[in-house]
Structure 1
Amino acid sequence: MNSVLLSISLMIAMCLLRLPVPVALIAGAIVGGLHSGLDIHESIGAINDNLSEGAQVGMTYVMIGAFAVALARSGLLDMLADKMSGAVSRGVKSSSLKWGLFSIFILASIMSQNAVPVHIAFIPVMIPPLLTVFNHLKIDRRAVACIIACSISVSYLLLPTGFGAIYLFEILLPNINSSGADYGLVVQAGQVPKAMFLPVMGIVAGMLVAVFITYRKPREYDDEITNKMVFRSEATKLKFKELMFVIAAVAVALICQIEFDSLLLGAMIGFVLLSFSGIFTWQQQDDVFTEGMRMMVQIAVIITIASGFAGVLNATGEIPSLVEATKALIGDNKAVGALLMLLVGLFITIGFGDSFASVPILAPIYVPLALSLGFSPAATIALLGASAALGDAGSPASTISLGVTSGLNADGQHDHIRDSVIPTFCHANFGMVLFAWIAALVL
C-alpha cells in the first residue's frame, strides 16, 4: 500500500473515531513514515523540520484570539442586541426587522474574518440576546446558521485581508508553489482570489437557497424557555475615550494587515491599545489574553502539526507514485478527476473540521495530480482551495459550526447536528462542489 495513502487513511479513520486531531496527525505521519522505510527518528525529524511554517500561522491565531476577546469586552455587540430588541418593542415592521437582522449577520460575519478579525468570537456574544427577537419574528434558526456559516466561509475564501490573507496568501499560495515547484508552477498572489471567485459563488448560492427556499417558513420556539435560559444584561454605554480606543485598535489591526502584511502585529498592537482603554482593568489583561488563547489554541496546534504531517508525506518519496496511480485510474478524464479531488477533500476536511489545516495535507498530492491531468494554474488553485475548504462549514468539529451552535443554542432549542451541522453542510458544500467542479473545467 502506498505510504501516503496509508497515512491519510489512518489519520481520517482516527478523526472519525473522535480521537484528538493532533494525535491522529502525528500517528498517521509516523505510521506512514515507517511504512515507507524511514525509521522512527527520521519520521519524527521530518515532522519537526516542517513545524515552523505552521507555527507562524498558529502564533497569529493565538494573538487574534486575545484581540477578539478584548473587543468582545467593549460591549459593542451587546449594544447592538439591545438596539434590535428595542426595535421589536417599538413595533417596527416584522419583515423589515427580519431582513435587517439577516443583513447585519452577513456584515458581522464578513467583518469578523477580514476588517475586524475576531473569527467566531462575535457569535456567542451577539446571538443569545437576540433569541427573543427571533422567537417574536418566528425566524427559523437554521436559516441564521446557514447565513453566518456561509458568510464566514465566503469571507476568508475570497477577501484578501484578515483570515482571508492567512488562508489565501500564507497557506494556500506557498503550499501551491512548493508542491508545484518540480513541475515549473509559479503562482502569483493576485491569481489566488480570482481563481477562488467561482467556487465561492457556490456557497453564496447555497445560502440564498437556505434563506429563500429551504428555511423560509416561520418556525415556532418556546418563549418561556428562552426567557428562562438567556440572561441579557443591559448594554453598556461606552465612554468617549473607550470608544476612541476601540476604533483606534480596529484601525491599527486593519492598517497593519494592508501596509505591513502582518495580522500578528496588528492584533498585538490592537490588544495593547484596548488594554489602555479602560474596557477591562490592567490586572485583567492576563485573563483576557488567556481566554483568547484558549479559544484559538486548538486551531493553532492543528495547523502547526499539519505542516509536520505534510513534511512526512514529502519525506516518504511516494507522492509521485500515488499521483501516477491515480492518474492511471482516472485516465485523461479531467471531469472525473476534478470531481474525485473535490469529494476526497470534502471527506478529509469533515474528519477534523479545519480548512486551514487541510491545505498542507492535500497540496503535495493535489497540485502534482492536477498539473499531470492538464489543469491550468487557475484551475489548480480552485481545486485545492475549494477541496480544503469543503466541509469546514458543516463538520461537527468545525469552529464555524460549533460557534454557530454556541449562539443559537443558548436556550437549548437548537440542536448542534440537526440544526447546525446538517443545514450548513448541505447548503455550503453542495453548491461549492458544483461551482468548483465547473471552475476546474473552464478556468
Structure 2
Amino acid sequence: MVLTNPVVVSIVLMSLLCLLRFNILLSIVISALVAGVLSGLGVEESMNIFIQGMSGNIETALSYILLGGIAYAIAQSNLTRFLIHWVSKFVGNKKILFCLFIAFIACFSQNLIPVHIAFIPILIPPLLALMNKMRLDRRAVACALSFGLQAPYIALPIGFGLIFQNIIKDNLIQNGVKVSLADVTSVMWIGGVAMLIGLFIAIFILYSRPRDYVQTRLEKKELVEEEPKMTPKDYGVLLGVVVTFAIQIFTSSLPLGALCGLVVMVIVRGIRYSDVDKVMEGGLSMMAFIAFVMLVASGFGAVLKESGAINLLVGEASAMMGGYALSALVMLLVGLLITMGIGTSFGTIPIIAAIYCPLALALNFSIPSIILLVGIAGALGDSGSPASDSTLGPTSGLNADGGHNHIWDTCVPTFIVYNIPLILIGVIGAVWLNS
C-alpha cells in the first residue's frame, strides 16, 4: 500500500520530527535509516549508502562554509550600514515594496547573475535591522526569497531555468515523448503563475501583519547612522564580493569563487591577516549547521534511490489513477513526496519522467499536459522541504541573529503558499491542455 511505502513513511516521519522541533539533522538521518530498513537494506547497509551519498552535496556544503566567511567579513564592515541606508531610502517603511524588491533581486540569482543562493548570506543579514524597524514578518521575506529561487527556473529558459527545462526535455525524449525546448517553455509559464499567486498570498494576506523581533545593540547603532562612509577596508571587502560572483559565473564553481573572494579580501586588507581565523570561525558558526544538513540530505536521497521504494511508490500510485484530473493529482502528489525527500527539483525530474511518460501516454494525456505534469511534479516540494536549498538558503540569511526558525518560519510558510497553488493550478492546467 502507498501509506506503508518506505518513501512515504520516512518523509512523513522526517516532517513530523521537524515540526516537533526535533533537531533537523538528526531527523533526516533517522528517517533515512527507517527508509532503508523498511526497504530491506538493513541498518548497516543503509548507513553505508547514506554516508557514500553525502558526497553528492559536498560542493554545496563547502560553498556554504566559504560564503559564511564572506558574510561575516561583510557584517564586520561598513557595507552593512551602507546597504541599510540605501535600501531604507529606496523602500522607506513600505513592507510590501521591500518584499517585492527582495523577490526581484532573488530572481536575478537564477538567470541574469546565476549565483543561486550565494547572495543570501551576503545581502540579507545586514537588512535584518531594517526589517525589525518596519516590524516586518520574516516569513514574508522567506517566501519572497523562495519565490526568486524557484519561479525563474520553472518558467524561464535562462540561467538555471535553461538547465531545468533542458532536463525536462531530455528526459521526456528518453522516455518516448518527443518535445523541443520551445515546447517545454510554452507550458511551464503556468507553474510560474502559480508561484506568483503564492507570493501575493504570502505578502498581502498571510504574513502582512506586524511582527516584533529582538534588536541587538549593533542593529540599533546601524539604524541611527544616517551618513555611512566607505573606507579602504570596505572597498576591499566589496572587491572580494565582486570577485566571488565573477569567478562563480565564469567557472560555474561557487566554492572556487568564494575562496578567491576571501583571498582577495585578505590581499587588499578588507580582512586583516591576523583576523582570518576570526572571520572563518564566524562564518562557520553562521553556516556550518546548514552545510551539514545539505550533506545529510544528499545521503537521505541516496538511500531513497537505492532502496527501490520510489519506483514501487510510483507503481502503487498508478493503480489509483482514473480520469484526467485524478491522475494528474496523483502524479503531482507523488512528485511532492519524492522532492520533499531528495530536496532537489533537478534530481527528481529523471525519476518522475521514467515512470510517468509511458503512463501518461497510456492514459491519453496530450504532450503539453505531460510536459506540465512532469515539470511541476519535479518542482513541487522544493519550497517546503527541510533539506532543500530553496529553504535552507533563506534561513541562512534570516536566522543570522537567531530570530528565525527554519521549520516554522521558512519551511511551513513556503510549503503552504507555493505547493498548494502549484498542485491546484497544475491539475487545472493539465486538464485544460488536454482538452
TM-score in terms of structure 2 length? 0.71
- Report what 1:145 is aligned to: 142
Distance 2:238 2:125 in 1: 23
Counterpart in the other structure of 1:271: 259
In structure 1, stretches of 5+ residues that fail to align are 257-262
Give the AA of the match of 2:413. P
Q: Partner residue of 2:192?
A: 200
What's the counterpart of residue 260 of structure 1?
none
> 1:424 and 1:77, CA in 2 relative to 1: closer, same or farther beyond 3 A?
farther
One of 310, 327, 336 as aligned partner of 2:305:
310
Q: Which residue of structure 2 aligns with residue 7 of structure 1?
A: 6
Q: Distance in 2 between matches of 1:158 and 1:302?
A: 26
Report whether the alignment pairs 1:334 with 2:324: yes
Aligned mates of 1:293, 1:415 — CA distance in 2: 16
Aligned with 2:308: secondary structure?
helix
- Match of residue 21 from structure 2: none
1:23-422 equivalence runs, <5 A: 23-25=30-32, 27-29=34-36, 31-32=38-39, 58-66=57-65, 68-69=67-68, 71-73=70-72, 75=74, 81-83=80-82, 85-86=84-85, 94=92, 98=95, 101-114=98-111, 115=113, 117=115, 119=117, 122-123=120-121, 126-159=123-156, 164=161, 176=171, 181=174, 183-185=175-177, 192-216=184-208, 219=210, 221=212, 225-227=214-216, 237=231, 238=233, 243-256=238-251, 263-264=252-253, 267-269=255-257, 271-272=259-260, 274-278=262-266, 279-280=270-271, 295-303=290-298, 306-307=301-302, 309-313=304-308, 319=312, 326-331=317-322, 333-350=323-340, 355=345, 358-359=348-349, 362-395=352-385, 398-405=388-395, 407-408=397-398, 419-422=409-412
1:161 and 1:66 mapped to 2: Cα distance?
27
Query: What amino acid does structure 1 have at the position aligned with 2:263?
Result: S
Cα deviation code 1:344-363 (max 9, x no counterpart) = 33345456755456556655
Give how far 1:337 is off.
0.7
Paired AA for residue 226 in structure 1: Q
Q: Which residue of 1 aligns with 2:23?
A: none
Find the aligned partners of 1:165 and 1:300 in 2 and give their Cα distance. Answer: 26
Cα distance in 2, alignment partners of residues 142 and 373 from structure 1: 40
CA 1:297–1:221 in 2, change beyond 3 Å: closer, same or farther? closer
| Structure 2 equivalent of residue 440 of structure 1 | 430
Q: Deviations over 1:96-133 (max 9, x none)?
A: x545533431233234445252517625x544543443
Residues 405-414 or 108-117, more deviating: 405-414
More divergent stretch after superposition (349-358 vs 58-67): 349-358
Q: 1:5 to 1:310 in 2, by over 3 A?
A: farther
* Distance (Å, rounded) in 1 between the aligned partners of 2:129 and 2:283: 31
Structure 1 residue 205, shift from structure 2 partner: 1.2
Which of 405, 424, 433 is 2:414 aligned to? 424
The change in CA–CA distance for 1:59 and 1:373 in structure 2 (over 3 A counts) is farther
Q: How many residues align?
A: 411
Deviations 1:313-350 (A, max 9, x none): 28x9x75xx7666445323x111111122233334545
CA shift digits 1:132-173 (9 cap, x unpaired): 433443434333232222222224434556655665556x66
Identity %: 28
Q: How large is the Cα RMSD of the aligned pairs?
A: 4.7
Q: Which runs of 5+ in 2 are unaligned?
A: 18-25, 223-227
Counterpart residue type for residue 117 of structure 2: H
